[in-house]
A and B are shown apart, each in its own frame.
Chain A
Amino acid sequence: MVIKEIIYLMQKEFLLEWRQKHALGGIMLYLVSTIFICYLSFAGIMSVPTWNALFWIIIAFASLNLVLKSFADETSGRKLYLYTLATPSAIIFSKILINSIVMVVLGVLGFILFNLFMGNMAGGNFTYWLVLIIGVLGFSSILTMVSAIASQARNNFTLMAILGFPLILPLLLLLIRASLLAIEGASIKSVSGDLVVILLLVMISLTLSNILFPYLWKE
Chain B
Amino acid sequence: MPNKTWNYTWKIFTIVLMLYVILGGLLFEVPALPVIHQTIRNIYFHVGMWFSMIFILFVGFLFSLAYLRTFDLKYDRMAFATVKTGLIFGFLGIITGMIWAQNTWGTYWVNDPKLNGAAVGILVYLAYLILRASLDDPEKRGRLAAVYKIFAFVIMFVFIMILPRISGPSIHPGVDGNPALATGDLDPMMRRVFFPAILGWILFSWWIYTVVERKDKINQKINQLNADQL
A and B: bona fide binding partners: yes
B140 adjacent to A152 (CB under 8 Å)? yes
> A60 contacts the other chain (Cβ, under 8 Å)?
no
Q: Choose from A154, A166, A174, A215 the contact partner of B127 (Cβ within 8 Å).
A: A166
A153 adjacent to B135 (CB under 8 Å)? yes
B131 adjacent to A204 (CB under 8 Å)? no
Q: Choose from B140, B143, B163 the contact partner of A170 (Cβ within 8 Å).
A: B163
Residues of A139-175 whose CB lies within 8 A of B: 142, 145-146, 149-150, 152-155, 158-159, 162-163, 165-167, 169-170, 173-174
A197 to B162, CA, bound (A): 8
> A97 contacts the other chain (Cβ, under 8 Å)?
no
Residues of A179-219 whose CB lies within 8 A of B: 193, 197, 200-201, 204-205, 208-209, 212, 215-216, 219
> A177 contacts the other chain (Cβ, under 8 Å)?
yes
A149 to B130, CA, bound (A): 13
Given contacts A150-B131, A177-B166, list 8 more A-B pairs with CB under 8 A: A145-B151, A149-B131, A153-B134, A159-B134, A163-B152, A170-B162, A205-B151, A212-B151
A219 to B144, CA, bound (A): 11
User: A200-B158, A201-B155 are known contacts. Are A169 and B167 too (CB-CB below 8 A)?
Assistant: no
> B146 contacts the other chain (Cβ, under 8 Å)?
yes
Residues of B within 8 A of A208 (CB): 150-151, 154-155
Residues of B within 8 A of A205 (CB): 151, 155
> B22 contacts the other chain (Cβ, under 8 Å)?
no
A204 adjacent to B158 (CB under 8 Å)? yes
A219 adjacent to B140 (CB under 8 Å)? yes
The main secondary structure of chain A at its interface with chain B is: helix
Interface residues, chain A, with chain B CB atoms under 8 Å away: 142, 145-146, 149-150, 152-155, 158-159, 162-163, 165-167, 169-170, 173-174, 177, 193, 197, 200-201, 204-205, 208-209, 212, 215-216, 219
> B124 contacts the other chain (Cβ, under 8 Å)?
yes
Q: Choose from B121, B148, B159, B167 the contact partner of A149 (Cβ within 8 Å).
A: B148
Q: How many A-B residue pairs have CB under 8 A?
A: 89
A155 adjacent to B134 (CB under 8 Å)? yes
> B120 contacts the other chain (Cβ, under 8 Å)?
yes
A173 adjacent to B167 (CB under 8 Å)? yes
> B147 contacts the other chain (Cβ, under 8 Å)?
yes
A212 adjacent to B147 (CB under 8 Å)? yes
Residues of A within 8 A of B163 (CB): 170, 173
B150 adjacent to A212 (CB under 8 Å)? yes
Residues of A within 8 A of B148 (CB): 146, 149, 163
Q: Choose from B120, B123, B135, B146 the contact partner of A215 (Cβ within 8 Å).
A: B146
Residues of B85-114 whose CB lies within 8 A of A: none
A142 adjacent to B155 (CB under 8 Å)? yes
B131 adjacent to A216 (CB under 8 Å)? no
A193 to B19, CA, bound (A): 48
Residues of A within 8 A of B156 (CB): 166-167
B152 adjacent to A166 (CB under 8 Å)? yes
A41 to B146, CA, bound (A): 42
> B40 contacts the other chain (Cβ, under 8 Å)?
no
B166 adjacent to A170 (CB under 8 Å)? yes
A170 adjacent to B159 (CB under 8 Å)? yes
User: A201-B155, A215-B143 are known contacts. Are A166 and B162 too (CB-CB below 8 A)?
Assistant: no
Residues of A within 8 A of B140 (CB): 152, 219
